[in-house]
Structure 1
Amino acid sequence: MKRMNSKFASALGLIAVATVGLTACSAGTGGETAAPASSAAPSSSSAAPSSSAMASEAAMDPAANLVGSGCAAYAEAVPSGEGSVAGMAKDPVAVAASNNPLLKTLTAAVSGKLNPKVDLVDTLNGAEFTVFAPVDEAFAAIPEKDLNAAVADADTLSSILTYHVIPGQIAPSDIPGSHTTVQGGDLEVTGSGDELMVNGATVVCGGVQTANATVYLVDTVLMPPAKK
């Protein structure tokens, strides 16, 4: 964990230098978010519990439920604007992610930029979700050959991305345990507070509120279990 947090701090240092240019990442410029999806939204038979108390508290203070060792560094590097914690709380999750300077690869993946056949923007913006969002370094850690193969196959890419999404918003205090994803597979969240992990991946900063989702930034791309 210490090694990842060091990398994360280094990345935040670069972000701090470029803070004045963060608005270029917003959906308003058209730089990060693709056109809305035309495909139907994935369905799930079991919706996770919604936390109305968490939503009410976050509406007053978007930072109220933050957990993770990287939250303070991120807030310091991006204290205001659309990519800040407060800024993300105002937008639906796909738009909010496009404004976050640590989620450029994920934003490209869910918006059809990597594979035109995989565009989940309307899906993600259209209901309440809990999203485990791999930071850019998580995608960079995947061997290029493997990443390119996953991106080229629409079914594989869609499966990977929807495995990071749980129906309903879940607060950090309620997130530990097993959860069924939109993809259909289960994932396991362990630990508590600043020590949360999902399938062994570290939650860098979680409890980040958007207009329709609760986001947990993670240091690893989660791979769905093989279908039996």
Structure 2
Amino acid sequence: MFGTAPGSDGTRIPTHPLGEVLRTTGEAAATGVAAGDLGPFDEGKIMHITTRVAGIAMVAALGLGLAACSPMTAAPEEDTSAAPTEETMDPAFDNLVGDGCAAYAEAVPDGGGSIVGMSQDPVAVAASNNPLLTTLVAAVSGQLNADVDLVDTLNGSEFTVFAPVDEAFAKLDPATVEALKLPENAALLASILTYHVVPGQILPSNIVGMQTTVQGGTVEVTGSGDDLQVNGATVICGGVATANATVYLIDTVLMP
């Protein structure tokens, strides 16, 4: 079980096999214990070396195991971008232009007067639900002048409507508004109203240029993107869809 090795006095002494193994493999040096330090039957040192070698082997094996279990690639980063809301995904928002659209959508987020709500009704009905168009609705429905009622006409075909908001009518001379209420001025009122209507639906991408109105005259649309004008009137929010018309809210009443 044990071998012998020459002693310092020339005699041979028994040795433990582990000392020879450590000397031949170099592992004794790796553990910090020289092979020559192993004396005859030095069981304490042998056990110390054995324990350290086993510990090193265990650490190495554990390191390999952890490396094998580690992911090879980093986990994908979570997308933190805001998902589009149900409202902004609705097709009714696709063609909106004008600096006032966002404010209007925020002020009227739901109901018949909202961007989505208006898209589901004929134009005269949609306008009646819009809180900015109360005066225009009164003018086209016979409330301003009993002899002028364009509701069925507006709902009966496809149109592009330049719709003056209430503040636009407020710019008019009050005497002019009063005069338009008179029966003898019904034709004049109808002429003014139909001057704001163009046959067929025209989206913002095609609206720039000269447009012929139902009244027979022409209006000129200029600008681009969110900065559009109609005969100089600013488009507050355009491309508003209704069931049969495309509406452009404007800040001034157009005169033929």
Q: Would you say same fold, with TM above 0.5?
A: yes
Q: Distance in 2 between matches of 1:150 and 1:194?
A: 33
RMSD value, Cα: 1.4
Contact 2:145 2:180 (8 Å CA) reproduced: no
Q: Distance in 1 between matches of 2:90 and 2:169?
A: 33
Q: How does 1:1-228 map to 2 (within 5 A)?
A: 61-152=91-182, 153-224=185-256
Once the two structures are TM-superposed, the CA of residue 149 in structure 1 deviates from its matched residue by: 1.4
Unaligned 5+ runs, structure 1: 1-58
Unaligned 5+ runs, structure 2: 1-88
Pick which of 142-151 and 128-137 moved more: 142-151
Larger-Rg structure = 2
- Greater length-normalized contact order (CA 8 Å, ≥ 6 residues apart): 1
Q: Distance in 2 between matches of 1:165 and 1:178?
A: 13
* Partner of residue 49, structure 1: none
Moved over 6 A (4+): none
Q: Distance in 1 between matches of 2:93 and 2:156?
A: 23
Once the two structures are TM-superposed, the CA of residue 60 in structure 1 deviates from its matched residue by: 5.2
TM-score by length of 2: 0.64
Pick which of 130-139 and 148-157 moved more: 148-157
* Partner of residue 16, structure 1: none
Q: Which amino acid aligns with 1:201?
A: A
Q: Distance in 1 between matches of 2:209 and 2:177?
A: 29
Q: 1:27-75 deviations in whole A, cap 9, x for unaligned?
A: xxxxxxxxxxxxxxxxxxxxxxxxxxxxxxxx95101100000000000
Once the two structures are TM-superposed, the CA of residue 151 in structure 1 deviates from its matched residue by: 3.2
